Structures are given as structure tokens and as C-alpha cells.
């Protein structure tokens, strides 16, 4: 990690704090007080969080946050391709999360891959009389219609928890009757303060119901690893998995992008867990470390600088054979990445970017922008915890603004003041900022592009950022009359 203190011309802790104070003035007293703790200038040298996080969203602000169900269905479970994931409750939750996270999947839809929207479509009567019986029936139907499904996850929506259904019991019975794992996941949306608890609950459920239920038939090898917290957004895993393989590793399981239940269930057999999205899956790494003694390492696959650093850090844990392969890989790809930088940097150098994403990219992508000559002038997370902000401090330039669970009005205000050349955030923010003629990329979904991870991803990332920043359409916004 760089220890050099990065600064941005015109940005000081005082200027940032003044900007924050301005926006806080918009709030009523109570709201102001609550929000104040979540907004602060970065103290790069400190290496620790400058804001509070993982607190309840302030009612009545325009928050970008989702819920526990979203974290469970959209993030952790949904990407496992060979399971049927039932959104248990009313129709909406499953419908909204159907196809709207870009965790791509192999396989044949409805045969051995299930990116569909399965729901128990609760009606009034299910709320009144309970949905357990319906659940039992639908599990049988799912098994009948999708005989190759490796398992079924049951993801509870709000009413299920509120009316006191016992899905755990239904799942247990069904598992035996249908002879496939039926995993109950009590991820009702009202639980916790954001998606984050959904990740945690899902991790716990994997711990309780999945892991150690399968074993690899082949013997365990020294380079057997699992790739954790890689969701294959826009095909990311199809970049990172082959990259790790090129470095000499056997990637036995991916959690959970394009994931396979059996492999996830046998992950207790690997030698190392490589984690990318720390926020959503650090729980499991820790569980596996404690329970099976599997070490874990946190990597960053965005941009050649971080990829290089990460691969070498990884190689350090292995023998010379791996080290040689890693150096060969770096030697092979670095010139290609340099060519990309030479193509795009002249058009992006000195441009400013503001980030506001989920639980990983607000820090992990900063250096990728820097590889292109850009500077991050603000960053923040929807659902991060203190450990995420700790890790963010050193990545961000000193004194730039950090925002936790930012509300739209805060982002809008910061953008007015900072005048970034690009904002990287989500769909709910996109059109707001585009109306302000600020180039924008969705950084949850790669804006329907990707992959952005690994060496395959960086050229696409660079092209997309250039496209956003330098599209001539922005010049058309202001009319000559």
C-alpha cells in the first residue's frame, strides 16, 4: 500500500468540513445531528475510519440503501446458479430483484441454471393463515419441475417473520422428503439497517446448512483455493478465475458468482480463501479460518497497480513455482495494461471522480481511476462498517469527503461544490446527476458493461470511463439560446 499522502488541489479538511456543514444545515435539528457523524473529511494518514457507519437510515431522507432480503437474494444467494431461490412472501421483492443484479450465470435456464423469479406470491389469506403449507407445496413443485436443481433456498420476506411462520421446520421436512437441501434463510427486509445484515444472515445460513455437506472426490492439492466475494457482475469471475488459474491455482469454488452449490458446500477443503468483496463475505472467511484453519487474504482486482500488488501478495503465501507464474503473468499483462493507459490517460488525466457504491468498490476502485490519471474527490458506502472505512482511509486522497449512507441531497450538494468530471454510483443516482450534465457510470452493475475485474476487465473499465467522461453529448446539454 502507498504510504505517500495524496492531496487534491483546493481541497483541505477545512474546505471539506465547510461543505459538509452547509449540507447539514438543510436538515432539521435531529436529522442534522444524526447525519453529522456520517460525513467527514478523510484523514489519510490515520488509516482509520473518519465516519460512523452501519447505523439506521435516517427516516425521510433519500437513501440508496436496500434491505436484508436484497443482501441475501441479490448478493449472496441469487448468484448460485444451480439452486432454485424462492422469494418467500409477496410478489414484489422477488420481482424487483429479478434480473436486476448482473451476476451472470452459465447453464441452461430452467434446466441446470435458475435465474428466474420464484415466489410464493403471498395473498391476504397467506398472511392471515400462514404460509407454511403453501411453502411445503411449492417446494415439491419446484423439485418436480426442476429435477436437476441442486438445492432450494427459501428467502423470507417481511411478512414471513412478522406472522411467525416456521420456515426452518418446513425446510427441514422438505429436505428429507425431496432429498435435496432446502435452505431456510430468515432475511426479512426489516432486519438490520441495510443489505449488510442480509449478507451476514446468508453467510450464517451457508455455515449452518451448506458447508461441509459436500466433499470433492479428488484429493486436496496445495494450490486449491476458493474465490470468495466474487459475484461475476458482468462476467467478473470469468476474468478473475482464469487469472488465478493462470497463476497456478486451482479455484475449487467461487462464492457465489456463477456459483455451484456442491462446490460451495465443499469449500472447507481448500487451502486458502481469496476474498474480494470483504464486506459481504468476511464472516465466512473468519468461520472457515476458525473452524477449518483456512487462512484468507483480501485482494483487489481493479486496475493493473492493484492487481499486481494483489498477485504478489498472494504469491508470498506460496512457493517459488507460484511466484514464478505470478511474475510471468504480470510480465505478460503489464505491457498490455500500459498500452491501455497510454490510450486513455491523455483524455482522462486530472479528471475528478466521486464514488458512492456498496460495500467494496468505494475503496477498491480508487486506484484503478488513478491508473488512468484520475483523482477521487469523494467516496462513501451504502452499507459499509467501520472496518471498511478503516481500509478506505489510506486509499483516498487526504481531506476528501467521506460519506456513509449518503442521502441524495448530500450527494447533490457535494457534486455542486466539487464539480466532479464523473460520478460512479447506482441507478437511483444516475439520472439525477446526468440531468446536471455530470458524466456518470453505474458502479454496481458496470452500467450493463463489464467485466471490470482483472486484466480482462481493465481495458473495458478504461474504455467505459473514457466514454462517459468524453462523450460529446455532454457538450450538447447547454443550448446556444
Partner 1 sequence: MANNLGLKVKPVTEIPEAEVNRVAAWINTEEYKEKNFARQALVINPAHACQPLGAELAAHGFEGSLPFVHGSQGCASYYRSTLNRHFREPAPAVSDAMTEDGAVFGGQNNLHEGLENSYKLYKPKMISVFTSCMPEIIGDDLTAFIKNARIKGFVPNDLPIPYANTPSFNGSHIHGYDAMLLAILQTLTQGKKVEGRCTGKLNLLPGFDANTGNIREYKRILEAFGIPYTVLADISDVFDSPNDGTYRPYPGGTKLEDAADSVNGKVTLALGTYSTAKTYGWLKDNYSGKHASIPMPFGIAKTDAFLLKLSELTGKPIPASLKEERGHAVDLLTDAHQYIHGKKFAVYGDPDYLLGLVSFLLEVGAKPTHVLCSKGTKKLEKELQALLDSSPFGKEGKVYVNKDLWHLRSLVMTEPVDAIIGDTHGKFAARDAKVPLFRFGFPIFDRVNLHREPLIGYQGVMNMMSTICNKFIDVVDETCDDRQFEMMR
Residues noted as catalytic: 67, 70, 101, 199
Q: With CB under 8 A as the contact rule, which of the stretches 42-50, 84-92, 298-306, 365-373 interacts with partner 1? A: 84-92
Residue 424 has phi, psi (to 5 degrees) of: -115, 110
Q: Decide if residue 282 touches partner 1 (CB under 8 A).
A: no
Q: How far apart are CA 347 and CA 155, in angstroms?
A: 46
User: Cell 460520478 maps to which residue?
Assistant: 423
Q: Decide if residue 31 touches partner 1 (CB under 8 A).
A: yes
- Window 91 to 150, contacts with partner 1 (CB under 8 A): 91-93, 95-100, 102, 104-112, 116-124, 126-127, 134-135, 137-138, 141-142, 144-145, 147-148
Judged by CB under 8 A, the residue of 167, 211, 225, 299 near partner 1 is: 211
- Window 219 to 258, contacts with partner 1 (CB under 8 A): 235, 258
Q: How far apart are CA 474 and CA 438, in angstroms?
A: 8
Compute the least distance from the CB of residue 147 to partner 1, in Å.
Answer: 6
| Region for 229 from its dihedrals, namely left if φ exceeds 0, alpha if ψ lies in -120 to 50, beta otherwise | left
Q: How far apart are CA 309 and CA 301, in angstroms?
A: 9
Q: With CB under 8 A as the contact rule, which of the stretches 82-90, 242-250, 324-332, 361-369 interacts with partner 1? A: 82-90
Compute the least distance from the CB of residue 281 to partner 1, in Å.
Answer: 19
**Number of residues lying near partner 1 (CB under 8 A):** 134
- Window 426 to 445, contacts with partner 1 (CB under 8 A): 426-428, 430-437, 445
Q: Decide if residue 451 touches partner 1 (CB under 8 A).
A: no
Question: For residue 277, which of 240, 244, 330 has the smallest C-alpha distance?
Answer: 240
> 372 or 396, CB closer to partner 1?
372
Q: How far apart are CA 429 and CA 356, in angstroms?
A: 9
User: Cell 468498490 maps to which residue?
Assistant: 361
Q: Decide if residue 392 touches partner 1 (CB under 8 A).
A: no
The cell for 451 is 467485466
> Is 248 in contact with 223 (CB distance < 8 Å)?
yes
Q: How far apart are CA 414 and CA 411, in angstroms?
A: 5
Q: With CB under 8 A as the contact rule, which of the stretches 11-19, 40-48, 385-393, 402-410 interacts with partner 1? A: 402-410
> Is 469 in contact with 421 (CB distance < 8 Å)?
yes
Q: Decide if residue 262 touches partner 1 (CB under 8 A).
A: yes
Q: Decide if residue 335 touches partner 1 (CB under 8 A).
A: no
Amino acid at each position: 500500500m502507498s504510504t505517500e499522502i495524496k492531496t487534491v488541489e483546493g481541497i483541505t479538511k477545512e474546505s471539506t468540513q465547510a461543505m459538509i456543514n452547509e449540507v447539514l444545515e438543510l436538515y432539521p435539528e435531529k436529522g442534522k445531528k444524526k447525519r453529522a457523524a456520517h460525513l467527514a473529511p478523510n484523514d489519510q494518514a490515520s488509516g482509520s475510519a473518519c465516519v460512523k457507519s452501519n447505523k439506521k437510515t435516517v427516516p425521510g431522507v433519500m437513501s440508496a440503501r436496500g434491505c436484508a432480503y436484497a443482501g441475501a437474494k441479490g448478493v449472496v444467494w441469487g448468484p448460485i446458479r444451480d439452486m432454485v431461490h424462492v422469494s418467500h412472501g409477496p410478489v414484489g421483492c422477488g420481482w424487483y430483484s429479478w434480473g436486476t443484479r448482473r451476476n451472470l450465470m452459465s447453464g441452461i435456464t430452467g434446466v441446470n441454471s435458475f435465474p428466474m423469479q420464484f415466489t410464493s406470491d403471498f395473498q391476504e389469506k397467506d398472511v392471515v393463515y400462514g404460509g407454511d403449507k403453501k411453502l411445503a407445496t411449492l417446494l415439491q413443485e419446484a423439485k418436480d419441475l426442476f429435477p436437476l436443481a441442486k438445492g432450494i433456498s427459501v428467502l423470507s420476506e417481511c411478512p414471513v417473520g412478522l406472522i411467525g411462520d416456521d420456515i426452518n421446520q418446513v425446510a427441514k421436512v422438505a429436505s428429507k422428503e425431496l432429498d435435496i437441501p432446502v435452505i431456510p434463510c430468515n432475511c426479512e427486509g426489516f432486519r438490520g439497517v441495510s443489505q449488510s445484515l442480509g449478507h451476514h444472515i446468508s453467510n450464517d445460513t451457508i455455515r449452518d446448512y451448506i458447508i461441509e455437506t459436500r466433499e470433492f472426490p479428488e484429493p486436496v492439492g496445495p494450490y486449491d483455493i476458493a474465490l470468495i466475494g466474487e459475484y461475476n457482475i458482468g462476467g467478473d469471475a470469468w476474468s478473475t478465475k482464469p487469472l488465478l488459474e493462470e497463476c497456478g491455482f486451482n479455484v475449487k469454488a467461487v462464492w457465489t458468482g456463477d456459483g455451484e452449490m456442491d462446490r460451495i458446500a465443499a469449500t472447507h477443503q481448500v487451502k486458502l480463501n481469496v476474498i474480494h468483496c470483504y464486506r459481504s463475505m468476511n464472516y465466512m472467511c473468519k468461520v472457515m479460518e476458525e473452524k477449518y484453519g483456512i487462512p484468507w487474504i483480501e485482494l483487489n482486482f481493479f486496475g493493473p497497480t492493484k492487481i499486481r500488488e494483489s498477485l504478489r501478495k498472494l504469491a508470498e503465501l506460496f512457493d517459488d513455482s507460484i511466484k514464478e507464474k505470478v511474475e510471468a503473468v504480470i510480465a505478460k499483462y503489464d505491457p498490455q495494461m500500459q498500452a491501455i493507459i497510454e490510450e486513455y490517460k491523455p483524455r482522462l488525466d486530472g479528471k475528478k471522480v466521486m464514488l458512492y457504491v456498496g460495500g467494496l468498490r468505494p475503496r477498491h476502485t480508487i486506484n484503478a481511476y488513478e491508473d488512468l490519471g484520475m483523482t477521487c474527490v469523494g467516496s462513501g458506502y451504502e452499507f459499509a462498517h467501520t472496518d471498511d472505512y478503516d481500509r478506505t482511509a489510506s486509499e483516498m486522497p487526504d481531506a476528501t469527503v467521506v460519506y456513509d449512507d449518503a442521502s441524495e441531497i448530500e450527494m447533490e450538494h457535494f457534486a455542486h461544490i466539487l464539480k466532479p468530471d464523473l460520478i460512479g454510483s447506482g441507478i437511483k443516482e444516475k439520472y439525477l446527476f446526468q440531468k446536471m450534465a455530470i458524466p456518470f457510470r453505474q458502479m454496481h452493475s458496470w452500467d450493463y458493461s463489464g467485466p471490470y475485474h482483472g486484466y480482462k476487465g481493465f481495458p473495458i473499465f478504461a474504455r467505459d470511463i473514457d466514454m462517459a467522461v468524453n462523450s460529446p453529448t455532454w457538450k450538447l446539454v447547454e443550448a446556444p439560446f
